[in-house]
Amino acid sequence: MSHHIYHTNAIIIGSKPQGEANKILSIYTRELGLVNATVQGIRYEKSKLRFALQDFSLAQVDLVRGREVWRVTSATTQNLFPFIRKDSEALLIFARLAKLIERLMPGETAHEKIFDDILQGLSLLDNEIVEKETIEAIELYLVLRIVYELGYVGDSEIINEHLGGNFDPNNASVLLSKKRSIVLAINTALSESHL
């Protein structure tokens, strides 16, 4: 019996060891949403997948659905986000976004708009020089976009003003001027949903 192979871009948002040499990856994909997948032998020095499937990176992966779990059969590095890795503040934002995705995303449900927004935000963060204000605004925008797209916050004047189109770094100060109201809306929504 042959299994269907899914080819998809995936943000590797976390991993944990399994057994002697395997890992379970938490990956956020454009077509399949949030997926937990095993990777055989990845912790061996000789593993070809070791480099391609690093935490906080983007990879093109091939996934096969087993009876109980997904398995990664191959992967190619797309972006290791080298400048994010060198900037502790940008890396912390990536880590917080990863935790938020794991917390809020329903498993195996595609949200292509959220995936595209996160990828755009990470691309903007992955620059040699990113202003502190821009870094803060990117995180605020992405969190707002995620909770809005998932239905945790509804339409409002503040939200509608900042969710039309892609994030624009030139509008960082405008977005941050509404930070208190936006954070309050996000926290209230998450609190009321008991997440």
Residues 43 and 15 in one domain: yes
* Structure-token pair, residue 111: 């949200």
Residues 71 and 100 in one domain: no
Residues 68 and 117 in one domain: no
Residue finishing a domain among 47, 79, 111: 79
Residue finishing a domain among 19, 44, 79: 79
47-103 per-position pLDDT tens digit? 989 899 999 999 999 999 988 889 999 999 999 999 999 999 999 999 999 999 999
What is the residue range of 25's domain? 5-79
Residues 26 and 69 in one domain: yes
Residue finishing a domain among 56, 79, 102: 79
* CA dihedral over 60, 62, 65, 66, signed as positive or negative: negative
pLDDT for 191 equals 84
Q: What is the mean pLDDT of each run of 10 residues along the chain (195 residues)?
A: 84 94 95 94 90 94 91 95 94 94 89 93 92 92 90 76 79 89 86 72
pLDDT for 13 equals 95
Residues 166 and 75 in one domain: no
**pTM check: above 0.85:** yes
Residues 70 and 47 in one domain: yes
pLDDT for 24 equals 96
Q: How many domains does the chain have?
A: 2
pLDDT for 154 equals 75
33: left (phi over 0), alpha (psi -120 to 50) or beta: left
